[in-house]
Amino acid sequence: MRTILFLIQKEFLQIFRNKTLLPVIFGVPFIQLIIFVNVMTFDLKEVKITVVDNDHSVYSRKLVSRFKGSSLFRVSERNISLHEAEDQMLRSQTDVILVIPRGFEKKLVKEHKGETQVLINAVNAMSAEIIHGYVNSIAYEVSKEIMVDLKLFRQMAGRKIIQVTPSFWYNQDLNYKIYMLPGICIILVSIVSVFLTAMNIVREKEIGTIEQINVTPIKRHQFIIGKLIPFYLIALFLFTIGISVGWFFYHVPVNGSLALLYGVITLYLVGALGLGLFISAISETQQQVLFTCFLILIVFIIMSGLFTPVESMPRWAQYLNVVNPFVYIIRAMRMILLKGSGFHDLIPEIAALTVYGAAMLSFAINTYRKRA
Amino acid sequence: MKRFLGFVRKEFIHILRDPRTMAILFGIPVIEMLLFGFVISNEIKDVSIAVYDQSRDADTRNLINKLASSGYFKLMHEVSGPGDLTALFKKGEVKEIVVFEPFFSKKLHEQHKASVQLITDASEPNVATMIMNYTSSVIQGYLNEVNNGTALPLQLDLRVRMVYNENLRSVYMFVPGIIVVILMLISAMMTSVSLTREKEHGTMEVLLASPLRPVQIIIGKVIPYIVLAFINIIVILILSYTVYGLPVQGSLVLLLAEALLFCIMALSLGIMISTIAETQLVAMFISMVGLMMPTILLSGFIFPVESLPKVLQWISAVMPARWFIVIVKGIMIKGSAFEHVWKETLIITGFALLFILITIKKFKQRLE
């Protein structure tokens, strides 16, 4: 026991005396958290729309003014041709081109039909789809307005209506930040626990100090525990900071029990630290560690369901995800924090994380050899 | 010159003798291409839902069948009382519960108005909104059937054309993004780490004491990485063409020339980092959190620059990657020519010169 304590003391001394690394470990995650949370949203802030109005009528202006009135669109209506507008789009100066044909109003009044052309820059498919939705709803509003204007509402009377009332539970305002923050905390904690652990041990290998430890009477499990506990504590500390920042600044709710939250994160960290240990056992240089970690983390994170729902992934990806600890921990975090789920709701996740932790740790201990 | 070539050979051997790193370096672009292409998707299909049907009549039955057979949803539960709703969500078993009011059919046919409540688990807000929209559209479709297809008395028809990307595929977003990330990874990150490694091991001094001039050492160091980076870009372009059918609309030569420029910029950045960092770990952390993360997050690769908060948009303006992505997207997707992207090219050149200048200054100081 005393040996382990000394080892832990040694690790902490080494970590805290490195003046360049210290701010990186503790400061950077904090900044990242704030930046990440603000970046990872798919809300559109401003869409530039160029109007090519060939009709210059009351109704065409009505349509344009609806766009002007929306907070999303910024309308530019200099009199230009479609060709010029397309050139603007090529130069990324506009996102949407609205073309109102000659005779737009006439056709609306006579045939009750209006046609306009909308060109959306769809290089970013996701934004384009959202823009499409907004454009449609504006067109719908305008068509209702015109219907009132042309006194067509009487013809609507016979129609049946089903009124749909949406209610969004656990996140009424559809706040993206409280959704992303728990997942981002997990990423930061994982980088520290997997990457730092692996780097730390391989560095000892590279410099040769690991041999000095190997010739001491320190046992294998003592060495490993001595290595893992400091990083466990650092990771836990960062996690606490992350959740507090979320709670203070972004109003991330903590609906579930804190004990359960820390229990689950501990289970996860055992697996993550074990993974770090395992990577260090199979690597000889720090460069190898870097690239191995990079590959594993990138695959795990992309597939974790942090950005897009796991359920939307193809079946083979879902099978692969069985061994992805990020899937379980991110789901568990969101469930505990946002929905206040209890132990019984989380049994599948907890079981998976326990198996993962146990497997990783025993795997790592067995690959690590005391040898010269 | 012969001395220099020997040095370059030594560098190649250094890189090639670590097969795992090589495999990963060539594997990352391929894996990323496949993951982004096939795994990342926001598609709504087979989402688990529950219904709480308080009226159990012909219309609600029909609607439930419509929802279940739409392909978007999978009916998991029929809830019998309001108390069960919370438990279902807490377990995470369903993502939406459709609640029909009592006497649904009666109200629909006699009062011409009935109502449905859609409760979604908004702990995943984007999914919740999409599920909501899909459910509403199924309900709307059913309503049109009930109304015998009578159209609205006035139709304002928007003929929407998705320019540059008719089928709304995400390939157009991620291919340029992956090119940038790979260039950064190989050029900036690997260079900084490998130079710092020489410092950490003390072999840098040996090199500096050799008859090679510092400029030769630096150039010799970076040549292998340029070669690696170019092989990777070509692999990415081939994959994007063969797997996703995305051709390069503009000039390939221009694209590769711009890539070379960006490569040089990233390499000088990597060298600059190595003059600051003392250990590999520090170099890695600086390039990972200072370069990779901002490159991925702030360059418009995944998250569009326009939707960032103002302050972050300013920060993103000093990210060379952001301008490079504009160039790559322009050339690959829109077929832009040099006259369309000269401004961005100038910005990247400016960055490259700046980094080279700082490095030369720092490097000299270290020699003394």
Length of chain A: 372
Least Cα separation, residue A121 to chain B (angstroms): 5
Cα–Cα distance between B221 and B219 in angstroms, integer? 5
Least Cα separation, residue A194 to chain B (angstroms): 13
Please indicate whether residue A326 or residue B300 has the higher confidence score (pLDDT).
A326
A151: which residues sit within 8 A by CB, 6+ positions away? Answer: none
Q: What is the pLDDT of residues B273-297, one digit of tens each?
A: 888 887 888 888 788 777 777 777 7
Nearest residue of chain B to residue A316 (CA atoms):
B39
* Inter-chain residue contact B156 with A114, CB threshold 8 Å: yes
Q: What is the pLDDT of residues A276-312, one digit of tens each?
A: 988 988 888 888 888 888 888 888 988 888 877 887 7
pLDDT number for residue A264: 94
Cα–Cα distance between B99 and A346 in angstroms, integer? 26
Residue in A287, A300, A344 to test binding to B, most B beta-carbons within 10 Å:
A287
Length of chain B: 368
CB pairs under 8 A between A and B: 319
Nearest residue of chain B to residue A307 (CA atoms):
B40
Least Cα separation, residue A1 to chain B (angstroms): 30
Is some CB atom of chain B closer than 8 A to the CB atom of A81? Answer: no
Least Cα separation, residue B209 to chain A (angstroms): 23
**Which stretch of A76-80, A234-238, B55-59, B328-332 has the lowest confidence by average pLDDT?**
A76-80
- Label residue A43 by pLDDT band (50, 70, 90): low
H helices, E strands: number in chain B: 16, 5
* Inter-chain residue contact A119 with B163, CB threshold 8 Å: yes
Nearest residue of chain B to residue A72 (CA atoms):
B307
**Residue of B150, B285, B307 with shortest CB distance to A42:** B307
pLDDT number for residue B363: 67
The rounded radius of gyration (Å) of the Cα atoms in chain A is 29
Is some CB atom of chain B closer than 8 A to the CB atom of A78? Answer: no
- Label residue A42 by pLDDT band (50, 70, 90): low
Tell me what the mean pLDDT of segment A13-29 comes to: 76
* Inter-chain residue contact A167 with B119, CB threshold 8 Å: yes
Global confidence as pTM? 0.81
Tell me what the mean pLDDT of segment A87-103 comes to: 86
- What letter represents residue B224's amino acid? P
Indicate the helix (H) or strand (E) that contains A238: helix A220-249
- On whether the CB atoms of residues B296 and B173 are closer than 8 A, the answer is no
Stretches in chain B below the pLDDT threshold 70: 42, 149-152, 363-368
Q: In the numeric block, which tokens belong to residue A221?
A: 């499990």
Sheet with A113-121, strands from edge to edge, namely A73-76, A47-53, A96-100, A113-121, B155-163
Q: Is the ipTM of this complex over 0.85?
A: no
Residues of B in contact with A341 (CB under 8 A): 90-92
Residues of A in contact with B280 (CB under 8 A): 203, 286-287
Residue linked to tokens 């040769």: A208
| Torsion, Cα of A40, A269, B284, B305 (10° steps) | 0
For residue A372, pLDDT beyond 50? no
- On whether the CB atoms of residues B361 and B277 are closer than 8 A, the answer is no
* Inter-chain residue contact A122 with B112, CB threshold 8 Å: no
Residues of A in contact with B122 (CB under 8 A): 168-172, 174
